[in-house]
Structure 1
Amino acid sequence: MGDPEGWAAVTPEVLTLTCLLLAAQPRGRILRGQEAPSHSRPYMASVQVNGKHVCGGFLIAEQWVMSAAHCLEDVADGKVQVLLGAHSLSQPEPSKRLYDVLRVVPHPGSRTETIDHDLLLLQLSEKAVLGPAVQLLPWQREDRDVAAGTLCDVAGWGVVSHTGRKPDRLQHLLLPVLDRATCNLRTYHDGTITERMMCAESNRRDTCKGDSGGPLVCGSVAEGVVTSGSRICGNHKKPGIYTRLASYVSWIDGVMAEGAAA
């Protein structure tokens, strides 16, 4: 998420993760990922409710953060905020700033019972202050599939072990894209992956609670958003699913234009 993110130089060793297969995994986490270099992904956001991290997100415009719709579906009257400029969630950092959220805009087609249209736009109460540790992430506007085997970067503050231990500092890993036809095989997701979704391999390494809403970054561009659909993480037969941003250009542009005019 030149290469301001610095992830392209990461070695394949980051792929050596151990992801235990559990019968009932929670949503969206990176299991035993490698700590990202400090502030190497300055677009990353921590979406928080009542001061606690619930999901990832990323800055796509000075006043807008992208995340996943399911992240806030169980939130009633909680106070939603966005933390930018963070590497550690708890330690003081000069670049860290917590922003109030003016508008919460889930995609109108999102539903609790499916992962379709799992996108969420958050309008900050003011424009983010940009700097070395807070930057916009370009997102894909050309509607075409990423080639199978392409290594893409995911990052987040989701729990890092089957015991539920949560990291304080940002974690990341690289995952190869899996073609949609393979992902839709009966032994995998059995035809449920639409053209508005993409998959990445999940053999012992995976996004799986707390990472939902983060970006799948391929070649320094956000191609997808980590969905928050419940599934078994790290199971090679259940590849990770991501919502393709290029399929939602008109909706994203429309929401942001409406917000700017308000």
Structure 2
Amino acid sequence: MLPVLILLTFLLPLGAGAEEIIGGHEVKSHSRPYMAFIASTDTNRSKNFCGGFLIQYKFVLTAAHCREISMIVILGAHNISAQERTQQIIPVEKAIPHPAYNPMDHTNDIMLLKLKRKAKKTKSVRILNLPMRHARLKPGVLCHVAGWGLMSLNATKRPALLQEAELIIQEDHECKNVFRHYSETTEICAGDPKKIQDIFQGDSGGPLVCDNKAYGVVSYGKRRRITSGIFTKVVYFLPWISRKMKLL
């Protein structure tokens, strides 16, 4: 486990870079054992935070835009501002963003993290299954997203406790009207523009969970108004994910 002073360096108020959960609710403690909190340091020594999720006991899936020069993963957390006995703090050995990731239009915003050591399976640390290769989500399906992100558009401090919100899968054409770079091939649109309490964005890199499987990775949304959020479509990238884990 990292020394207390090093850990507290990462447990600072969230910066402006991560996406938000708006209108969510606290989940039952440790009921989302696949969740990962990713703390990192950039070239300017600024602290950044993202979400992610455990897909094998040595691999975490997150968003490519979360990549920084130094990264650690905290598993088994509910209160990220406390040193819970359930937490496993593991440095990242290697970050593998998708080679076609484009930060300008957010395309292919997915990244695999190889941990320096294998996580220990406990009641608070478990993997999240991925969908089958040909699985599809229909508009209207109810999904969930969780994270430790900001809880309102004007918030400056993130919650310490894990939050979760419900989202509805939207029609692709509706999201194309809002996001000009939206790709139905590689992305999923979820939210509900008619209900503010249902419009949420989880921490960047967190999972869009539908039927207990990770169908999406939180990628981006509108910063100054509440709309649906855009998720990288996991199904499309399954061959790449599988190939990379076999090689590492």
TM interval, shorter chain, is 0.7 to 0.9
Match of 2:33 in 1: 42
Alignment of 1:202-241 (within 5 A): 202-203=192-193, 204=196, 205-208=198-201, 211-227=203-219, 229=220, 231-232=222-223, 235-236=226-227, 239-241=228-230
Match of 2:185 in 1: 195
- Cα deviation per residue 1:200-249 (whole Å; 9 max; x = unaligned)? 124324344x701000000101111100x35236534xx21111111011
Match of 2:75 in 1: 84
Closer, same or farther: CA 234–201 of 1 in aligned 2, 3 Å: farther
Name the CA distance, whole Å, in 2 between partners of 1:80 and 1:62: 17
Name the CA distance, whole Å, in 1 between partners of 2:63 and 2:185: 18
Contact 1:33–1:160 under 8 Å retained in 2: yes
Specify the code of the residue in structure 1 equivalent to 2:235: A
Match of 1:66 in 2: 61
Closer, same or farther: CA 138–147 of 1 in aligned 2, 3 Å: same
Work out which of the residue numbers 105, 126, 132 in structure 1 matches 2:117. Answer: 126
Alignment partner of 1:252: what SS? helix
Alignment partner of 2:174: what SS? helix
Work out which of the residue numbers 138, 152, 165 in structure 2 matches 1:147. Answer: 138
Uncovered stretches (5+) of structure 2, i.e. residues with no partner: 1-15
Specify the code of the residue in structure 1 equivalent to 2:179: H
Higher relative contact order (CA 8 A, sep 6+): 1
Name the CA distance, whole Å, in 1 between partners of 2:212 and 2:93: 28
Uncovered stretches (5+) of structure 1, i.e. residues with no partner: 1-24
CA apart distance, 1:27: 4.3
Match of 2:235 in 1: 246
Alignment of 1:100-179 (within 5 A): 100-161=91-152, 162-179=154-171
Contact 2:35–2:51 under 8 Å retained in 1: yes
Specify the code of the residue in structure 1 equivalent to 2:169: V
The percentage of aligned residue pairs carrying the same residue is 34
- Cα deviation per residue 1:71-103 (whole Å; 9 max; x = unaligned)? 12xx3x4x2100000001122321101101111
Match of 1:3 in 2: none
Aligned residues: 225
Name the CA distance, whole Å, in 1 between partners of 2:184 and 2:224: 20
Contact 1:67–1:120 under 8 Å retained in 2: yes
Name the CA distance, whole Å, in 1 between partners of 2:129 and 2:174: 28
Contact 1:202–1:234 under 8 Å retained in 2: no
Q: Taking structure 2 as the reference length, what is the TM-score of the superposition?
A: 0.84
- Cα deviation per residue 1:23-49 (whole Å; 9 max; x = unaligned)? xx8541102421111001000000111
Name the CA distance, whole Å, in 1 between partners of 2:63 and 2:239: 17
Name the CA distance, whole Å, in 1 between partners of 2:83 and 2:17: 29
RMSD across aligned positions (CA): 2.0
Closer, same or farther: CA 95–191 of 1 in aligned 2, 3 Å: closer
Match of 1:258 in 2: 247
Closer, same or farther: CA 231–27 of 1 in aligned 2, 3 Å: farther
- Cα deviation per residue 1:95-136 (whole Å; 9 max; x = unaligned)? 101101111000000022121100010000011001100000
Specify the code of the residue in structure 2 equivalent to 1:214: G
Name the CA distance, whole Å, in 1 between partners of 2:143 and 2:225: 16
Name the CA distance, whole Å, in 1 between partners of 2:171 and 2:213: 18
